Amino acid sequence: MQFAQKDYILAPQASTRVSWLETLLLTLLALGLGWWFVPQDPLLAAAEFPWMILAPLLLGVRYGFLQGLCSAVLLIAALFAFRFAGLPAYQVVPVAFLVGLLLCTLLVGEFRDIWGRRLERLSLANDYRQLRLDEFTRAHHLLRISHDRLEQRVAGSDQSLRSSLLDLRERLRGLAREEGDALVCLADTILTLLASHASLRIAGLYRVIDGQRVDTRPLAVLGEMPELDDEDLLVRLCLERGELVSVRAELLDRGDGAQHSSLQACVPLVDTEGRILAILAIQQMPFFMFHERTFSLLALLAGHVADLLMSDPQALQLADADAQRYSQLLRRSLLDARDHGLPASLFGLELSDPQHAEELQRLLEDSQRGLDVQLKVRNGHGNRLLLVLLPLTSADGAQGYLRRLRELFTERFGQDLAPEMLGMRIHRFHLEGGDEREALRHFLFNECALNDQQVAI
């Protein structure tokens, strides 16, 4: 989560109570300084430059429209108080000063609020892209390491990383809701999966409570694992950093590792949102496996296991892994639109002409953009249907997507043939905020003729 683009705030955020306290104190400080330097004109209304305006301007830039306006109102109230007290400088009300003070404060505060909202939306959009990038990076490294591992496996062994994760996914799908916590029920399976790809000899899997404290009661153990010390150096570092930590290989080679920790390595099960579900405490593993590639493999596997454990139960019941991933991303877009106002667009491209269906489907798949997600299904009418999710895309952006599709059709089939003439029906749905789940279900199950075994929402 430590990225340069995350640091978009010029000053540290303050709570509401602190912001109002600073508003009052800074305004009173400005009045006090004005009274100290120019007692006959504390607001400096007759000065060559109205220095007193800096207080509401600073508060407007720091906190926004409301605090800046309150500061300006306090200054105006002070002016009238001085006038009623008989101060000669304010017997004639300086209208230009008052209007300029209010106008500048309102403009600065309004622009600060506008840009604050824009930066917040950009930050949310960036978090979504980073989440997708993390998913892609894990999948990429998992496939690469899986390929290397398969080359090194002995003849006749066909257990790959992908098949192990698929097996864990199937076990998670078959886990009934009433059986209890998935982490508890699958602890032995998870430990076996991690141990088999790192040749672990003595290890234990432990739950992490609230991401800060480890439960010393093991969920599963391998070998003669002694009682875990929750104050162990590696355990504390693993929880603080949220990443794999280990004793240096040089210390193990010299036999000095026990002076620092009773463990050799500690692996957190962290999902893509940074939540630590459990830790794998490793007390003994072969020295020839104690290297960077093994630790990278363990970290990747642990991350994928955490993602599976935090997967939506309804989406996991889908038989197709692509449909599961698509359903989870669709639900995430629905929540982003409802909670953060981030729009998204969904298209159902139905291909009803068998003569052109396959060619059109290939053309549509080739037109996929970077963040777009596609799912190929057959609907209740027996036609091919390509569901295209366009995250962070408004209705205007969806129109641009349709224009690009029509340009592709024109390049491929000529000016005379529109998509509709080739048997393609376009169903569209826009996620623009609010509670749209029922409307989305109606779109998928009625308009697109799908069922709950093809997509879950």
- What is the C-alpha separation between 68 and 427, in angstroms, rounded? 48
Q: What is the pLDDT of residue 259?
A: 65
Q: What is the pLDDT of residue 272?
A: 67
- What is the C-alpha separation between 330 and 429, in angstroms, rounded? 12
DSSP assignment string, 81-94: HHHHTT-GGGSS--
Q: What is the pLDDT of residue 313?
A: 59
E-strand ranges in 317-423 read 344-351, 373-378, 384-391
Q: Which residue, chain included where needed, has tokens 């000063």? A: 97
Q: 352-365: string of b/e by CB count within 10 Å (b at 16+)?
A: beeebbeebbebbe
Q: What is the pLDDT of residue 314?
A: 59
Q: What is the pLDDT of residue 156?
A: 44
Supply the pTM of this predicted model.
Answer: 0.50
- What is the C-alpha separation between 307 and 327, in angstroms, rounded? 14
Do 265 and 244 meet the contact criterion of CB atoms below 8 Å apart? yes
Q: Which residues is 390 bridged to in the sheet?
A: 345
Number of Cβ within 10 Å of residue 194's Cβ equals: 23
- What is the C-alpha separation between 393 and 128, in angstroms, rounded? 13
Phi, psi of 180 (to 5 degrees): 115, -160
Q: What is the pLDDT along the chain (457 residues), one digit of tens a residue?
A: 444 445 555 555 666 777 788 878 888 888 888 788 777 778 777 677 778 888 888 888 888 888 888 888 888 888 777 777 777 777 776 877 888 888 888 888 888 888 888 888 888 888 889 888 888 888 888 888 877 776 665 434 445 565 676 677 777 766 644 455 788 888 898 898 888 888 889 999 999 998 888 998 999 999 889 888 888 889 999 999 888 998 876 666 565 556 668 898 999 998 867 789 999 999 988 877 788 888 888 887 888 788 778 766 555 556 566 777 788 778 778 877 877 677 889 999 999 888 888 888 888 888 777 678 889 999 998 899 999 998 878 888 888 888 888 888 888 887 667 777 888 899 999 988 777 888 898 999 999 989 888 887 7
User: Which residues have C-beta within 8 Å of that of residue 109, sequence separation ≥ 6?
Assistant: 60, 64, 65, 66, 67, 68, 69
What domains, with CATH codes, occur in the chain? 4-123 (no CATH), 153-311 (3.30.450.40), 314-447 (3.30.70.2880)
E-strand ranges in 285-372 read 344-351
Q: What is the pLDDT of residue 428?
A: 92
What strand order describes the sheet that includes 202-209?
213-222, 202-209, 276-284, 265-270, 245-246
Phi, psi of 109 (to 5 degrees): -65, -40
Q: 63-82: string of b/e by CB count within 10 Å (b at 16+)?
A: bbbebbbbbbebbbebbeeb
- What is the C-alpha separation between 265 and 36, in angstroms, rounded? 64
Helices (H) and strands (E) in the chain, counts: 15, 9
Structure tokens at 238: 């693993």
What confidence tens digit (pLDDT) does each residue in 424-455 have?
Answer: 899 999 988 777 888 898 999 999 989 888 88
Q: What is the pLDDT of residue 321?
A: 67
What sections of 153-175 are H helices per DSSP?
161-174
Strands 373-378 and 213-222: unpaired
Q: Identify the CA nearest to 310 among candidates 339, 337, 276.
A: 276
Q: Identify the CA nearest to 426 among candidates 367, 374, 349.
A: 349
